[in-house]
Structure formats: structure tokens, C-alpha cells
Structure 1
Amino acid sequence: MDTTAEQNGAGPSYANGLQNGFCPAQLSNGSCSSLIASASSSSSGGHSGIDSFHHLHQDLHNNGSPAKKCRLRRRMDSGKKNRPPFPWFGMDIGGTLVKLVYFEPKDITAEEEQEEVENLKSIRKYLTSNTAYGKTGIRDVHLELKNLTMCGRKGHLHFIRFPTQAMHRFIQMGSDKNFSSLHTTLCATGGGAYKFEEDFRTMADLELLKLDELDCLIQGLLYVDSVGFNGHPECYFFENPSDPQNCVKRPCSLDNPFPMLLVNIGSGVSILAVYSKDSYKRVTGTSLGGGTFLGLCCLLTGCETFEEALEMAAKGNSTNVDKLVKDIYGGDYERFGLQGSAVASSFGHMMSKEKRDTISKEDLARATLVTITNNIGSIARMCAVNEKIERVVFVGNFLRINMVSMKLLAYAMDFWSKGQLKALFLEHEVKFALFVVET
């Protein structure tokens, strides 16, 4: 989402007792007292980690609620091992999509399996045995990260997404599966962590530990790049972006990532100048992002989903809609290095009734995609020049299955900078805000 206020102060931020999305104790001593551990213990009088054991023990004997006794016992057992109890979740509740990550432990012992409560088994089976949940929930199997070690446990990370408009059904499912008997608090980021906070509380008896989405974005990006993508690099770029016939995807490394310009394209756009893992500023943003593309496509073409809009755009020709430099000059504008194929006026041909009568819905979808992408690329390039940064990393759900926009951005960065700026992309386009919740 686009953060409207200009947040020009450098990170990290301190919120809810957390520094840059991690517990301060974890930052200082490498402990596995993760955010989930903080969340799980947040209801026990403000105590956390090992120091809260005697309080948990006292609560276990004094409280008569079976659900709370189960929860407290699991927290005590996990706390002795210096890690949070399962299940491990994280959510990024955006303006258009909810992105959820789930850690599936693969090293469960026979003793642990025997002691597991039924609803924990039920949740794990439900999430890992399905690739679709209802009509709109999807588990992106191709993005699964396998055989990771987190907090001393080995397992897989699963990535699930569903429309934000289905949030109330998700909360109700959590209530139906009695999730509050396992955790009292969930870690969440994004604007929806504020919007739906009361609904989680009243419908599912759950609190949300709200984390700053830009802090999570940066920390998560660095984490996922460090672990890689199942033996392959997470980061990639397009070689020969100015030559469509020879433009190919190439892996690359972010071994020395700083400084970098981080362009987060969700419903809106935020652009960050990142100088180190602990220092960044929000340079600017724009309200014209992925939400704009989908909204306009719905109006212009009657499509219903992002996937449908992209499918239409892939078949369209934007030059039937946009007025190009050559439409005005008859060719290139050589004095200023403008190629005849460059867009001079987005949707400029639509002033002509004759043109309007001949275009297709696919042409309109393609022109909308090109318009939004070109605008983002132009702003990103200007920010990179102003900040004197040569590495530009594009992330966000707008780029999911959107090869057209990625190649347009790569071309724009390369052409207008005369090869000085390189556009980088990542395999997990939108999932970074989630990793910090689990690590």
C-alpha cells in the first residue's frame, strides 16, 4: 500500500517494544526469542521469554480455563527450549491482498506428535494438504522454501494469499478452528493490521502484534536473499533489456546491497532509499500502483481479477491506444534522444472517435499496464539519480506473474540511464514483510 505521509526519518523504528521488527534481546545476543515468542507471551502481564516462566507456572495452576491451561503449558514447554510454540504464522494485510506465511516443521519427534493437540494437527493438515482454500485462497506451491532451519527447527515455509475482502471469512475460520487456544496473539503488518484489529479481537479472541511494514520489508528482503531460493539465488535481472529478442533472465547476488533504492509496488507505491540494514528513508511514493491498474482495467474492460487483467494485457497492443513520439514527429525526436516508439501521450489516441471504435479491451488493458509501469519507472529513475544510487530493486504484488511490467522497468532503467542503472527483481515479490515475523 502507499504510505501517504512522507516518512523521511531513518529507521529503525521502535514499536511495541520491538526494534526494526525484532525483539531488542534478539538483536543483541542472537537469541531465538522471536516475534512469535513475544506475541505468545504478550498476555501474561507484560512478561516475556525465560523471565516469565514462574508467572506462566503460577497462571497454569490458578486459571481454570482448559484452553488457557493448554496454551500456557505449550508456552512453558517451548520457552524451556528458547523458541515459540507452534503454529508459526505471519501476515501482511494489504489493501488488495492478504499474504500469509506458515512454517511447517518437518522434524517433529514421536513424543511431540503424541503430545500435539488436535486443533494444531488440524491446522497443519489443512494448510499443507491443500493448494486452494475456498474460491479465492491460494497456496503458491512454486514459492515454497524447503528445508530451512528457524529457531533450531527444520521445516518448509508455505506462502498463502487471498483477497483482503475475504478477511472476515478468514477470521471466522480461525475462530471455528479454535486458534485462540494455541496463541493469544498473531504478528501482522500492513494497513489491515490496524483496520481489522478489532475484528480479530471480537470474532476470534485474538490480538494483533502490529509491525511496521517498511521495517519488515527491508529485514525480510535481506533474510530471503541470505537463505536463497531452494539452492538458487533469490535475486535476478534482465540481460539485454533493450533487445526484446535477446532479453533473458539472469540470477544475481545481493552480497553488497547497500545503498539500494527499494521500490515497493502494491496497491500504491512506496520508494525507499536504504543505506544499511538499520538505516533507510522513504523518499516518496505514488498512489498510482497495482490497485490503479486493476481498478481501471475493471472499469475499461469488465475484468474481475488481477490475473484476468494481465491475461488481457498480454494479448493487447498499447500503441493502438497511446500516442507515440513518431505519431507527432513522424519518427525519432533526435535532438533529445527520444525514440519514435516512446510514448508521448498515454491514451492519447482515445481523443479520436475513429480510434476508439477500433480498439479492443485487450488494447485498453495493455495501455493501462504500460501507463502505470512507465510512471513508476520514471519516478524510480528520478529518485535513484537524486539519491545517487545505482541499484534499484523492484518488489511488490503488482509484479506477481507480470513479466510485461518487469521487462518494461528493466528497459526503462537501462535506456534512460545509458546503462548506469540496473533494475533488480526477486522471486518472492511480495512476501518479505512476513519473514521477519518468523525469524
Structure 2
Amino acid sequence: MSPAPGQGGAVPMPTQNRTLRFTDEQKAQVLERTDLVALVSRDVPLKLSGRSHVGLCPFHEEKTPSFHVTPRRWQCYGCQRNGDAFQYLRDKHGLTFVDAVRQLARDAGIELHSQTSARPVASPFTRALTFAERHFAAQFEAPEASAVRDYVFKTRGLTAETARRFGLGYAPAPWATLAQGLARERLAFDAETLGLVVRRPKTDGHYDFLRNRVTFPLRAPTGQLLGFAGRFLGTESAPKYLVTPESPLYRKREHLYGLDVTRAAIRSCRVAVLVEGYFDVHCLFQVGVQEVVALSSTAITPSHVAQLVAAGAEEVVLLFDGDKAGLAAIESAARALLPSSLPARVASLPAGTDPDDYALTHGEAGVRRLLADAQPLSVALLHRLLPEGATAGLEVKLKARKQLAAFLALLPEGFTRAAFLTAAAAHFGVPEAALVI
């Protein structure tokens, strides 16, 4: 067994008390303070490639590096193993979960006090989030929120069951309805850390971060509540969507909306449909395309890919808005998906069409036809970079060649890179050597 990283390389003895518990805040703090790249580098030589560090997998023999490490997650696209810093120590060095937490806490200089109760008391973060969820749910059902329900059920076309399944709520317009309730529960300062409320200048008081918005709970794949998003309902100038800020529990670049609800469908059909918006998830799920998740206003990352693989996806189909932003999102998605071993295709919506509207108009059968006609991501990307293909002029090809080089740089030497280069040369109408910068 390899020595665990840490003090003197010694492996701590397994903890005998299996009832030990750590709070969500403690685990989040340890992960926040752990440099996962440095941790893995003690066992595996890593090289920066794009947005992740890459090396040979420590869990199986390979000649071409397929082991990717980001600041928060690791993923092998060969053997499909993945996890966070805790999981790495468990898999690589045989530590128990408790010992892995303690090991990394010691390395980070964090003092932990574990709980031994078989029924641990909910942490303040969990209590604050649960209070907010119940508050928003109650406000959504209040008689004075009839216009809110009309927006959800009539304007957006959701059923009451869909709204219940995804936990939709309402954050009222007044400045401090949630903050006042949290203060009574002595949870205001924990809620501030989570971004649920904002400190008033020069006082100890708080006001609500989300106001006059339909709310969507943000959950981990396990169902753990992490934060909230909100869609603005007013007419005055304000961001259409707001998401509670990153916190010890919530990181936007690691979150996929709806995965807690839809992962069973993903595992069943081995496909994940990736969309951009909350209502896209709701409407596709409602019409019967339940293997769907959303990116929640961020580009796809290696962490997202790892979560989809862990959920059982063997393929991803991108279904983005049929506008310029949606087309541009294809390039962003390719940066994370092309270097992975997860096959991806792109479904094309009519220009100016959103997935939610299309689903409600055409139903499951219409969406299934779109998905069946989806083209490989590599093909969609090449058409995005050089729409005219081989007939394009020299100047246009030179510009596209520079853009193509950035994607080639993300791909390690091997079959995927060679196949992509061959396809690109055919699309550009030039020899492969002419595309290598």
C-alpha cells in the first residue's frame, strides 16, 4: 500500500468508531483548503492541459494520459473512476472516510471536532437552507401569490406536479421577509455565509438576497440542499436570474441543476440531455424527456463531465437555445467534452427557439426526433468554426485554423486527437500537416 500523503508519509490507523460524523461545513472547509492538484501530484506527475491537469491514471495501467484533475475533482476517462480529495485518499491509500477527512484537515491546519451521535443534529447551514426552502414554498402557496402561480402554470406551462417535483417557491418582494425569520431562528449569520441574506451597511441587520422571484432549490446529486436560484418577476431593471453566491457548500462550476431528480432516468437510458436553463429542465422532464440536466449559467467543466459519468451517462446530447449564445455555447462545451471519453452530440433547434417552448409545443415525440438527428460534437464544432467548409476563402480559413489550434491543444496524443485532426483536414480541404501549428 502506498503511503498516504501528509506528515512523514505515515498511513493513519483506521478509525474504529464507525459512528463518527463531521458537519457539512467542516467537510466543505477541508475541501476548500485542500489543493487537490498538489495532493495528487505526490503520487502522479501531472501536466497542465487546458483547464485541468493531466497524467497517467494511478488506478489502472495506460500509456496515454487519461487522468484529469481540477482544483475540486479528479476523473479518469479510461477506467471511469472519479471523486474529490476524500475519495482519492480512500481509493489510492485505502483510508476510511473519517481518516481521509482527518488527514486532509491536519494537512490544512484545521481542527475538527467530530460528532459521535447516531442521529447527528443538523448543521446551522442545513437548518438555514431548510428554513429558506420552507419559507419560499409557503410564500408560493399564499393567497397573495396568485400572480406568481399564474406565471409558473399558465405563462411557463408547468403542471403543479412538476413545480412540486422540483421544489419551486417564491421569494416575496419586501426586503426582509426571509431575513426576519432567520434572525428569529438565530440563523442570520449562517445564512449570510450561504448568500441567502445580505448584511445591511454599518449594522448587524440583513436583507433578502432573492426578492420578487420564483425560486429553484439547487441540490447536489444526493439531494443535499446547496442554495437557490431565482427568476425575477418585476418590470423594473434587474438581472433576470440570480443565484446565491458561491459558499462552503455551493460552487457553480461543479453544479448541474436537476441531477438529483433526473439521475435515475439518466442511468436507465445511459444518455444525458444537457440544456442551459431551469425551465428547460422542467419542461423536458414534464413531457417525458426525463434524462435532462442544466448548466445553470456556466460553461460545462470537467467536474460536470465526471458527475454525468458517475450518474451513468454514456453519451451527452447538447440541446441549447437556437440563438447566437446557444451556438457559441457549443465551442465552450467542446473544451470540456472533446478531451473526455464521453461521446457528445449536438441537437439543432430552430433559430430563436428555446428547449422549453419546443418541448411544450411538440411534446416528447418532437424532442425525441431532434435528439435522434443530433450530429457529433466534433462535426458541429467544425461547422461552427468554418461554416463554408472547404469552399471558404483563404483569410477565413486562416482565422478558423487559429481557433482550431486551441481545441487541438486540449487533446492528448492518441486516437481522439488523430481522428479529430483527420476530420478537420477533410472539412478545411487541406492536408493534416497544414492544420498543426
Q: TM-score, normalised by structure 2?
A: 0.28
More strand by share: 1
Q: TM-score, normalised by structure 1?
A: 0.28
Larger RCO, structure (CA 8 Å, separation 6 or more): 1
